[in-house]
Structure formats: structure tokens, C-alpha cells
Amino acid sequence: MPTPSLPPGPRAPRAIQQLAWMLRPVPLMERCRRAYGDAFTLRIADQGTWVFLAHPDAVKEVFTADPAVLHAGEANRVLRPWLGEHSVLLLDDDAHLAQRRLLLPPFHGQRMQRYEALMTELAQREVARWPAGEPFALWPHMQAVTLEVIVQAIFGEREGPRLDRLRAALRAAAASTTSWRTMLKMATLGPDRLAADAAFRRRMAPVDEVVHETIAARRAEHERGGERDDILSLLLDARHEDGSPMTDAELRDELMTLLVAGHETSATSLAWAVERLVRHPEALDRLAAGDDDYVDAVVKETLRLRPVIPIVARRATAPVRIAGWDLPAGTMVAPCIHLVHRRPDVYPDPHRFRPERFLERPAGTYTWIPFGGGVRRCLGASFAQFEMRAILRVIARRRRLAPARPPRERARRRAVTLVPDRGAEVVAWPA
């Protein structure tokens, strides 16, 4: 057994490192990269020892390692109160793979086409509500449209009285994952006791009720032989290895997972896309002209330069050798999306927003990692990129846009995501 070794890192007390990670994550990562190189160790108060990795070779080692040795589900445990015990995000090993296999088919890239008309229509309705000629923050509007996409394309609720209840309940559930009140409770109780906490359960009860009603409605339509193409209806056809269908409890947990994993991330990525585009009018003009490859390049460049999730995490269940270091069991291993995406050897002039780079060279498996990788790669990666392309096309064609104020927006932390600090403020006029 080799002697455990950890990459170098700051010597500040844990509490100080934790504070820097909470309040100023981007400067902290960049400072550490300059001071210590492509692998460094941070000590974060209640979460142990984190090894950040900024080299694509090390990222490859993590994404191709035995998933039994690098657990991702454990690292997501804080989400248990909302997602429940069946969620693919929280499971590891065989249980994770079994659940992932059930969810994969409806999210296959080639199947996304079926949502294009719906996404375009929802984006057109949203854009029509924007004020003309006065500054406003785009981010809440992107939250509204990505929530609507989830309600309609994933839950399959397109009209009727339940639509409003479901939308309101999901909005409340998503908001509670980032509220300070819940964060404080989480800090004192931990995820398992928060999940069982009576006040928390009371707040979640209306959400569970309407989600279960929606599942029952889709099931009834499905049994009547109705042809539906929402993700929930497709999941009703999924079968476990023993041939049994998913239970209502599993469906509920996975639907909440898709909401929590897919709503803020997509909304914030869209807000960043527009924040960058309004400061690059030539890119905005080219986007409006509508060449499909260019729209895709804009999406890829946004996710490179402004990844909403700056790291992914795995907990080592046993000693593991990565990037030449013998990391002890218990270490959190963190491929650093933010730093990998800013490597000048991979992306010349890395801080510049230049979508063309993805027309010149395709995105690499271990150098373009906004959706993580390996057996944990984001299940919604095709869905999210398809959605971003559809919505950005509508925005660029229907509105002329300018920044409300010239200085670029900085990244501010909101729970695990990095959002534009002024909410992507713009001024818009009908095109």
C-alpha cells in the first residue's frame, strides 16, 4: 500500500477556506491554479478534503475510474429531502446503474426533435411578455420558460386546472432548494433529519400531492392506449430487469430529480448566453441569421466560458491513485470544469467569447465537460442543449438586444450554481 499523498494547497484554516469557497469560488480556484498547478487540495470545513483537478488527463482518469471506488451519489446527499431515496442522482453502484438505464432511453439525443415545436412555442410566448425599451433582468424570464418546458415536456401537463397547480408547486419546490432558511436547517439537521422534519414535510406535501396526481393521470391515459410523447409517459414503458414497471415512488423521485437538475441549470445557462451575446453584437447577428451549426457553437461556447456548475465531485471509497497522487479513502475528488475550460493549451485566448472555436474544432470528451462525464454524465445533456438552441433562436430572431449597462456581469454563487450577478440585465426591442 503506497503512502497516502495529497497535492499542495492553501494553509489557511478550514473555516477560512470554506468561506472563500462559499463567497468567492472563481477567484479561489484561479488563485490556487496559479499557486499550485493542475492539482490542488482545499480543506472545506464540514466536507473534508477536496482535490481539485484541472488537467484533462486527470479528468479522464476520474471519468473512466471504477464507479465503485469513486462515488458520486454520496456527494449529492444534501438533495435527499427533495429528491427522495430512489433518485438517480443520489444512488451509487448497481442501484445507480439500474435507475439510470430506466431513464436513458427517453433522453436519447435523437428523440429530442419531438420537443422542438413545443420549446419554440413556449419561448415565443415568453419573449412576447418582455418589456420594450427598458432595462430588465432576463434570468427570471429564463426560469419561467425552462420551468414551463419541464412542466409540459417532462410532466406532460399541457392544459387544464392541474397545470397551474403543478407549475406553482414545482416553482416552490425548486425555490426551496436554494432558500437560506432551508440551507440553515440543512446545516443544523443534515439531509436525513431534514427529510423527516415535520415542518419540511408539511411544505412539501402539496408538491407531492400534485406530482402524484399527475402520475396517476398519465398512467390512466397510458392504460387507455393514448399516444403521448412527454418523458413521464415514456417512463411508464420503462421496465426493471425483472420486467416490472417503475413504481409511483420511483417516478415521483425521478421527476423531482429532473426538475432540480434541469431547471436552474438550463435557465442560468440561457441567461449567461444572452449576457455574453449582448456584449458581442456580431455573434448575436450571426445567431439571428440562423445557421444551425453556429447556434450549436454559441451554446457550446457559453457552457465552456460560463459553466453554471464549476466542479463535479466523487468521494473515494478506497485509496485511489489519480494524477500521480495516492489519495486516501474519503477524499473528495473534483474535476474542475471552470479551470479545464480556461486552459490556454486547449482553448487559445481562453477568456474570449468566440463561438467559432467550436466550428473549427469539435468539443473534446475530457476538455469540454459542462455536463460532467463517465457513468454519471448529465442525463439531460442533449435535452438541455436542444432547449438552449430552440430558445436562443427565438430570442435572436424576435428581439434586438443590448446590455442595460456595459460592464460584464460577474459570477455570483447561488447554492451550487454560478449565476450572473445582475441577473443578465438587458434592454430589448421587437426586431
Q: Does 372 bind ligand HEM (CB under 6 A)?
A: yes
Q: How far is the CB of 383 from ligand HEM (least distance, A)?
A: 5
- Of residues 32 and 90, the one with the C-beta less far from ligand HEM: 90
Binds ligand HEM by CB under 6 A, chosen from 39, 79, 334, 379 = 379
- Round to whole Å and give the CA distance between 355 and 188: 44
Binds ligand HEM by CB under 6 A, chosen from 51, 72, 123, 428 = 72
- Round to whole Å and give the CA distance between 116 and 120: 6
- Of residues 112 and 401, the one with the C-beta less far from ligand HEM: 112
- Of residues 89 and 404, the one with the C-beta less far from ligand HEM: 89
Closest by CA to 399, choosing from 133, 119, 122, is: 133
Q: Estimate to the nearest angstrom the gap between the alpha carbon of 82 and the chain centroid.
A: 16
- Round to whole Å and give the CA distance between 52 and 31: 12
- Of residues 353 and 371, the one with the C-beta less far from ligand HEM: 371
Q: First CA to last CA across the chain, in angstroms? A: 66
- Round to whole Å and give the CA distance between 297 and 422: 25
Which of the stretches 1-9, 201-209, 308-316, 392-400 binds ligand HEM when contact is defined by CB under 6 A? Answer: 308-316
Of 388-407, which residues contact ligand HEM (CB under 6 A)? none
- Which amino acid, 381? A
- Round to whole Å and give the CA distance between 19 and 165: 38
Q: Does 423 bind ligand HEM (CB under 6 A)?
A: no
Residue with cell 470528451: 365
Binds ligand HEM by CB under 6 A, chosen from 70, 78, 88, 102 = 88
Of 264-303, which residues contact ligand HEM (CB under 6 A)? 265-266, 269
CB atoms within 10 A of CB 111: 16
- Of residues 150 and 283, the one with the C-beta less far from ligand HEM: 150
Binds ligand HEM by CB under 6 A, chosen from 51, 273, 312, 426 = 312
Q: How far is the CB of 326 from ligand HEM (least distance, A)?
A: 23
Of 237-266, which residues contact ligand HEM (CB under 6 A)? 257-258, 261-262, 265-266
Dihedrals phi, psi of 214, to nearest 5 degrees: -65, -40
Q: How far is the CB of 244 from ligand HEM (least distance, A)?
A: 21
- Which amino acid, 204? M
Sheet containing strand 70-71, strands side by side: 39-44, 48-53, 332-335, 314-316, 70-71
Cell numbers linked to 21:
469557497
Residue with cell 430570442: 395
Which of the stretches 221-229, 282-290, 366-374, 423-431 binds ligand HEM when contact is defined by CB under 6 A? Answer: 366-374
DSSP secondary structure code for residue 245 in this structure: B
- Under rule CB under 6 A, how many of the chain's residues touch ligand HEM? 25
- Round to whole Å and give the CA distance between 203 and 189: 17
Binds ligand HEM by CB under 6 A, chosen from 14, 77, 100, 413 = 100
Of 105-134, which residues contact ligand HEM (CB under 6 A)? none
Of 51-70, which residues contact ligand HEM (CB under 6 A)? none
- Round to whole Å and give the CA distance between 177 and 24: 21
Closest by CA to 365, choosing from 54, 59, 7, is: 59
Of 186-225, which residues contact ligand HEM (CB under 6 A)? none
Binds ligand HEM by CB under 6 A, chosen from 322, 333, 378, 419 = 378
Applying CB under 6 A, which residues contact ligand HEM?
72, 88-89, 100, 257-258, 261-262, 265-266, 269, 308-309, 312, 370-373, 376-380, 383-384
